[in-house]
Amino acid sequence: MEIVELSNGLKVVLVPCEAESVAFGLFVASGSCHEQPKEAGISHFIEHMLFKGTPMRSALDISKSIEGRGGMFNAWTSEELTAFYAHLPYEYLDEAVDILSDMFLHASMNREEFEREKLVVLEEIRMYEDDPDSVVLENLQSVLFAGTTLSSPIAGSAETLLKMRPADLKRYMRGHYLPSRTIAVVAGRFERDAAVKAVSSRLGRFRAKGAKMQAVDISALEPVKNEVVKTKDVQQTRIAIGYRTFGRNDRRKYAATVFDAILGRGMSSRLFQQVREKKGLSYDVSSRMQFLADAGMWIVSMGVDPAKEKAALSTVDRELERIRTRRVGKEELARTKEFLVGNFRLSHERVIAKLHFYGQTMLSFGKLISPEEQIRGILDVTADDILQVANEILNPSMRCVSRVVGGNLV
C-alpha cells in the first residue's frame, strides 16, 4: 500500500493485489451530517446527478463506456461521506479514471435531467417510507441523535428535495467537493506509475477552497426518548432497540465489535439462538454496531408477531442483562474472535472490498489502518473488556425502542 499526495492536496491510495480487475474510487467528505436542515438530502441528490452526464458524455455514454467493457459503476451516500467507484478488467484503469473524474469535476446539472432525477429520488424516498425496516431504523436514529444533523434521513425529505435547484447543488459542491476532503483509491491489478499518472493528470489540477470540515456538535445531543412508535399497514411489528454510544476513535471500539458479534452476528449468536431457534419468536433477529466520527449506535432489530412482542423484548433484555453481568466464557470469546477475523479476511479477498475499506479508513482517520491492525485489535479483546463495554453501552438513559406497528395495535 502507498499514499501519494498530489500538489493540490488530494491523496491517492494505491492498493495493489493479485487480480484480473482494477477498481477506482473517489471518496469525499460530504454526507448528511454536513448539511443544514433546509438542504437535507443534498449530498445524496448530488450523488445521483453526477451520473446524469457531463459536457463530454451523456448519461448513456457513461453507462456504455463502463458496462461495454464488462465493468460496473455505482455510488452511495452515508452520514459522513459520498463514494463513487468503477470496477473493470485491469487494462481499463485509464478509462475508469477518466470517466469518474469527468463526472466528479464536470457534472452538467442539466435542468431537464435535474427535474427528472428529482422524481427518481422522490420515488426512492417513498420506497423507504413504505418499508417498515427503513422506517423503524430511521425513527430510531432520529431519536438517538436528536438535536444534531445525524438525526436527518440521508435522502432528505420530499419537502427539502422539491425545493432544490441546480444552483444549490453547485454551491454545495464548491464548499464540500475539495481536494482536501477527497480520497482517490486504486485497488487491484495496475502498474504503479501509470496509475499515479492517470489520477494526477485528471485530478491534480483540481483546485478549490471551502470551509474546513466541521465535526458534528455532539454537545447539542438531546436526552434520548425511551420509545418511538409509527403506525403503518403491517401484519408484523418491526422493532429496533438502540443505544447511543461512542465513536470510532474510541479505544473501546474493538471490544464493542466483539460484544456485538456475541449477541447478534450470525446464526450462532446469542440473540439468534434464543429469540429464533429456541423460542421461535422471530424469523430475523440481529444486531449491528455503527461507529461515526464522534458518536455511534448499537442496534438490535427484529420482526415479530404482535402477540409475541412482549415475549421477544423480554428475551432480548434477558440476554442483554446476562452479557452485562456475567463474564463471557473462554470458548465463546475465542470462537467469536475467530468468526470476526475470518469474516474480515474473506471479505477482503475482493477488490471492491479493499477499495471501500481503504477509502473509508483514510477519509475517516486521515491515515491507513491495515487489516493486520484491525485483526490485532480484535484478538487483544479480553472477557473483562466485554463486561466493561457491555455496561457502558447498555446504559438505560441512552436506550430507545422504535416500533412500527399495525393500525389497531397502538
* 197-226 burial: b if 16+ Cβ within 10 Å, else e: ebbbebbbebebeeeeeeebebeebeebee
Looking at residue 211, what is its pLDDT?
57
* CATH architecture type of domain 223-405: 2-Layer Sandwich (3.30)
Looking at residue 391, what is its pLDDT?
98
Q: Is residue 108 helix, strand or coil?
A: coil
Give every CB contact of residue 207 below 8 A, 6+ residues apart in sequence: 8, 179
Query: What's the grid cell of residue 375?
Result: 485483526
Looking at residue 95, what is its pLDDT?
98
All structural domains of the chain with their residue ranges: 2-203, 223-405
Mean pLDDT confidence for 105-112? 94
Looking at residue 167, what is its pLDDT?
96
- Distance of alpha carbon 232 from alpha carbon 40, whole angstroms: 24
Nearest residue to 393 via CA among 281, 263, 259: 259
* Range in 195-199, 311-315, 348-352 with the lowest mean pLDDT: 348-352
- 202 confidence band (pLDDT: 50, 70, 90): very high
Beta pairing, strands 227-231 & 237-245: unpaired
Q: Does the pLDDT of residue 327 top 60, yes or no?
A: yes
How crowded is residue 264: how many other Cβ atoms within 10 Å of its Cβ? 24
Burial class of 187 by CB neighbour count within 10 A (0 to 12, 13 to 18, 19+): buried
Looking at residue 160, what is its pLDDT?
97
* Range in 19-33, 164-178, 249-263, 395-409 with the lowest mean pLDDT: 395-409
Q: Is 286 in contact with 268 (CB distance < 8 Å)?
A: no
Helix, strand, coil proportions of the chain in percent (round to 5)? 50, 20, 30
Looking at residue 215, what is its pLDDT?
60
CATH topology identical between 2-203 and 223-405: yes
- 221 confidence band (pLDDT: 50, 70, 90): confident
Q: Is residue 392 helix, strand or coil?
A: helix
Looking at residue 212, what is its pLDDT?
59
- 223 confidence band (pLDDT: 50, 70, 90): confident
- 207 confidence band (pLDDT: 50, 70, 90): confident
Nearest residue to 80 via CA among 359, 402, 371: 359
Q: Does the pLDDT of residue 385 top 90, yes or no?
A: yes
Note the Cα 355 to chain centre separation in Å: 14
Q: Which fold has domain 2-203?
A: Cytochrome Bc1 Complex; Chain A, domain 1 (3.30.830)
- Distance of alpha carbon 306 from alpha carbon 355, whole angstroms: 42
Mean pLDDT confidence for 55-70? 96
Looking at residue 318, what is its pLDDT?
98
Query: What's the grid cell of residue 149?
Result: 444533523
- 59 confidence band (pLDDT: 50, 70, 90): very high
C-alpha distances out from residue 323 to 271, 297, 329, 371, 383, Å: 11, 18, 11, 28, 10
pTM exceeding 0.85: yes
Looking at residue 213, what is its pLDDT?
58
pLDDT tens-digit map of 138-179: 999 999 999 999 999 999 999 999 999 999 999 999 999 999
Note the Cα 14 to chain centre separation in Å: 22
Looking at residue 91, what is its pLDDT?
98
Mean pLDDT confidence for 58-86? 97
Query: What's the grid cell of residue 183?
Result: 480520497
DSSP 293: S
Beta pairing, strands 82-89 & 237-245: unpaired
Mean pLDDT confidence for 291-300? 95
Q: CA torsion 321→139→130→117, rounded to 10°?
A: -130
Mean pLDDT confidence for 312-337? 98
Give every CB contact of residue 322 below 8 A, 6+ residues apart in sequence: 270
More confident residue, 409 or 117: 117
- Distance of alpha carbon 94 from alpha carbon 79, whole angstroms: 30
